[in-house]
Amino acid sequence: MSLIRWSPNWDPFREMEDMMNQLPALSGTNLPAKGFVPAMDVYETKDAVVAETTLAGVRPEDVEVRVQDGMITIQGETNKEREVEEKNYYRKEVRSGSFFRQVPLPVAVLEDKVTAEFGDGVLKITCPKAGEKKEGKKIEIEVKNKKK
């Protein structure tokens, strides 16, 4: 077991944030270093696949939603409207900047029928299913005896 040197200035939250900011660079996306990745819930109902993400403080006109090739893509930008003059923060966790999230859909959907609504800081995307896959019809094999 290796020892970790104790540091009085060690902040596990800052370390985790730095690691999360490096993920887009590792995955090959073009997300700026100051960006963030919003959390998403994706669930399936009888008729649709629904994706929800919390985007508090983001204006709907600053968000772009695309559903293409079985993927939901959400991207946009949030800007801090007012800046505190004094920079004596005890903690600064409210994020601003660009965001990007892409999630694969579990089933085929009607991409031209997708709807999105924004209310109370939550973006809800509803993707109607393209239809259930029908199982192939079972065909009975008729056996014919050949006489020589």
Break the chain into its structural domains and give their ranges: 34-80+95-131
Has residue 119 got a pLDDT over 70? yes
Measured in whole angstroms, how far is the alpha carbon of residue 8 from the centre of its chain?
A: 36
Asked if 73 contacts 102 with a C-beta cutoff of 8 angstroms, the reply is yes
Has residue 98 got a pLDDT over 50? yes
58-91 pLDDT, tens digit each: 888 889 999 999 999 999 988 765 556 667 777 7
Helix (H, G, I), strand (E, B) or coil at 69: coil
pLDDT of 20 = 67
pLDDT of 59 = 87
Say which residue, 108 or 29, is predicted with more confidence: 108
Go through the chain and tell me how many residues it has.
148
Q: How many CB atoms lie within 10 A of CB 84?
A: 9
Burial class (CB in 10 A: 0-12, 13-18, 19+), 74: buried
Has residue 30 got a pLDDT over 60? no
- Weakest-pLDDT range from 5-9, 37-41, 93-97, 128-132: 5-9
Does the reported pTM lie above 0.85? no
CATH number assigned to the domain covering 34-80+95-131: 2.60.40.790
pLDDT of 147 = 64
Average pLDDT, the chain: 78
- Alpha-carbon distance of 13 to 23, in angstroms, equals 16
CA dihedral 124, 51, 29, 109 (to 10 degrees): -110
User: Which residues, 6+ apart, have CB-to-CB distance to 88 below 8 Å?
Assistant: none
Counting runs of H as helices and runs of E as strands, what totals does the chain give? Answer: 1, 7
Please give the DSSP secondary-structure letter assigned to residue 34: T
